[in-house]
Each structure stands twice: as C-alpha cells, then as structure tokens.
Amino acid sequence: MKQLRGFKYRFYPTDSQRLELAQTFGCTRFVYNWALALRTNSYYQDNVSLTGDINCAGNPRRRALSYTDTSKALTKLKKDPEKPWLKQVSAVPLQQGLRHLNTAFQNFFKGKTKYPRFKKKANRQSAHYAPNAFKWVEGKLTLAKMSQPLKIKWSRYFTGEPKSITVSKDPSNRYFVSFLVEEELDGWQPSTEEVGIDLGIKDVVVCSNGFASGNPKHYQKYQARLKTLQRRLAKKKKGSNNRYKARLKIAKLHAKISDCRKDFLHKLSTKLVSENQAIYTETLAVKNMMANHKLAKAIADCGWGEFLRQLEYKAKWHDRKIGAIDRWFPSSKRCNPCGHILDKLPLDVREWTCPSCNSVNLRDENAALNILAVGQTVFACGLS
C-alpha cells in the first residue's frame, strides 16, 4: 500500500546558500504576515472593500478575503518600487505561504486551532517548494535561484520522486530539508494482540499487558543547565553579540531536549503499533490539565499529544486500529475485577484495595485494563 511519508534530513549550506535562504525566509515571512494583516484588517475596515464588492445600498460589502484575493494583491505588491527584494527570490515559496495562511484560517473556522498568529524572525523559519521550484537529479537537490545542490547529510534513503520539499532553519541555527514522498510501505504481520494504554507522569505509558515505559524526564535532566544559561543571558546587553551567543546556547539546549523526547516517543509508539493490532487510549484534555501549575511542567515534558499523534499515523500506515474512550470514563476509580467505582481517588494514591471484592489494584495498570475492556466493548474491534 502506498502512503505519503515525510523524510527529514539536516543539511549544511554554503555561505552563498545561507544568504539566499535568509532572503527567502525573510520574504516568505513578510508575505505571510502582510497577508494575515490584510485579511484581518479588510474585514473590520468600514467603507473599504478591497474586493470591489458593494451591497444593495451601494456601500462597500464587508467580506473576508480568500486565497485568490491575497494572491492577486501579492502580484500588485511585487510591482511596488519600494519592495524590489520580493522579486529576488522564487515566487513559489511566497505563494505557498499564502496557501498555508489560507489553511490556517480554514482550521480556525473549523474550531481546530486558534486564530493565525504573526511569524517572528526568532522562531523557526521555513519555505515550501512545489516540484516546479526545485531540481531533483540522481539524489541531488537544487533549489530555485541556486546554482549548487544542497549538501545533505543522508541518514536514510527513500524511493520515488519528491512531491514537495520544505526547507527550514530552527532557532539553534540548524538547517533541515523535508521531502514529501509517496512510498510503498512494507506491511507488518497482523497481530492478534489488543492493548489498552494509560498515560501518566511516573510512566509515560502503562499498558494493560503489564508493560510500563518509564519516564526519562528529559527537561528535568537539563533543567539546572538551562537555568544557568538563562541567568547568563539575562546579564548580557540587549543587541550585543554576546547576548546572541548566549541565546544560541539556550536554543541548542532546547533543541537537544526536544530531539531526545521525540526519539523516545518514536521508539515507544513504534513498539506498541508493531506488537498490537488494536490500541485503545483515553481522551485527555491536556490544556485543562496544564492549568495545574504544580504538574504543568511534568505534563509538558511527557509529550502526550505528540505520542498520540505518532500512534495515529503509524497505525494508519500499518492497518492497525486506534480507539479513544470517553474522557469522563472513571478508568482509575473503577475496579477492573468487579466493576466497583470509588467515590474519589486522590492523585497520590498509587495502589488501592477494592471495598467490594478486596482485590488490590495498581492505579495505572488497573486504568489500562479498564480502558482495554471499554474499548473492546464500544468499538467492537474485530481482528482478521
């Protein structure tokens, strides 16, 4: 079965390529922010209609701008004599920026995300290239407006032609290129196992079969070092070269923490998907849980959202089943052997004895068993 997959690699640009990429990132960011301001302001301005529409009273009609409207406005903007630098970069990343903004608005109106925000130079920079804006010949990638191919560090290889690429630069000054490729996946052997998983802080994942993942606590491991670097940064003069170098050290440490966390979650999600045909999880309101300031840092360090995202797409790739039970189901307070439900169960109680059947329940493993039982009942996941 063919699936679209992403392959991300680090690359090392030459000095001239670094300058060209900086210009492309800057223009892409400018166009995105300009279009966001245009779409926002045009809706609230009185007596102004950038689309030329009028209502039955002869007044300009207030209407949200579309991607087509901003694309036409961009064509006019590039003719502005005060902005000749917009013509010095490939037009494709600029148009792709408008498409990404349009997608952001669509997701906002569907209730999936918040209102689009302006992009900042200090954050991750990126530019998206369609097939007509790069050349892929014998494993060498050359971007539009560039004369030399990128020096890519190949950690693995893919088959097929790239359908699109994204070039990015993170706050720690590392450059990456991501390929979107349609590939034939090697199917995993069907399994007869089903598992329920409980997400927690002591162990990121506890399974109904007794497996506990542990919690490496990547942020906590480097927290003291991060605190030292942030104190040094606070003493540097704003705008100085020393402040820039101090900020870069902090960004590199944050990147290391993020890389370690993602590596752990990828290995964990791959293990669960490869060993089980059906996986049942709990539905978590992570945003509400983060309101607990005593646990917010530990919850963020676990990366539950990223873990569930990885589970979902890997299960789809390999024809596995994923089910999420109702968020209000009392998985921890319900005794799995007899079904008795406690009135309350404080968070610090990790083991409890059922007053009905006297069975001793480990909090997380008991919750995982309940999630498995409810998942099998509700979703009726028939294995072939």
Q: Round to whole Å and give the CA distance between 258 and 216.
A: 12
Domain-by-domain residue ranges, the chain? 2-184, 194-215+266-379
Beta strands 360-362 and 351-353, pairing class? antiparallel
Q: Round to whole Å and give the CA distance between 339 and 353.
A: 13
Give Cα 86 distance to the centre of its chain: 29
Q: pLDDT truncated to tens, each residue of the chain (384 aa)?
A: 788 899 999 999 999 999 999 999 999 999 999 999 999 988 776 544 444 555 555 555 556 789 999 999 999 999 999 999 999 999 999 999 999 999 999 999 999 999 999 999 999 999 999 999 999 998 999 999 999 999 999 999 998 899 999 999 999 999 999 999 998 887 788 888 999 999 999 999 999 999 999 999 999 999 999 999 999 999 999 999 999 999 999 999 999 999 999 999 999 999 999 999 999 999 888 888 888 888 999 999 999 999 999 999 999 988 899 999 988 899 999 999 999 999 999 988 999 999 999 999 999 999 999 999 999 888 764 443
Give Cα 99 distance to the centre of its chain: 18
Return the half-sphere exposure (C-beta side, CA atoms, 13 A cut-off) of residue 155. 8
Q: Round to whole Å and give the CA distance between 189 and 384.
A: 12
- Convert the pLDDT of each residue in 95-129 to its tens digit: 999 999 999 999 999 999 999 999 999 999 999 99
Task: Specify the 3-state DSSP secondary structure of 303.
Answer: coil
Q: What is the DSSP string of 175-197?
A: EEEEEEEEEE--PPPP---EEEE
Cα-based distances in Å from 136 to 16, 21, 143, 160, 179 = 20, 18, 9, 11, 11
Active centre residues (catalytic): 198, 282, 364
CB 77 within 8 A of CB 70: no
- Convert the pLDDT of each residue in 34-51 to its tens digit: 999 999 988 776 544 444
Query: In this structure, which topology does domain 194-215+266-379 adopt according to CATH?
Result: Nucleotidyltransferase; domain 5 (3.30.420)
Cα-based distances in Å from 379 to 55, 205, 210, 213, 316 = 51, 21, 22, 25, 16
Strand ranges inside the chain, DSSP E: 2-11, 125-129, 134-137, 140-143, 152-153, 162-169, 175-184, 194-199, 205-207, 278-282, 321-325, 351-353, 360-362
Q: Round to whole Å and give the CA distance between 329 and 55.
A: 52
Q: At 321, phi and psi to the nearest 5?
A: -105, 135
pTM over 0.75: yes
Q: At 201, phi and psi to the nearest 5?
A: -105, -45
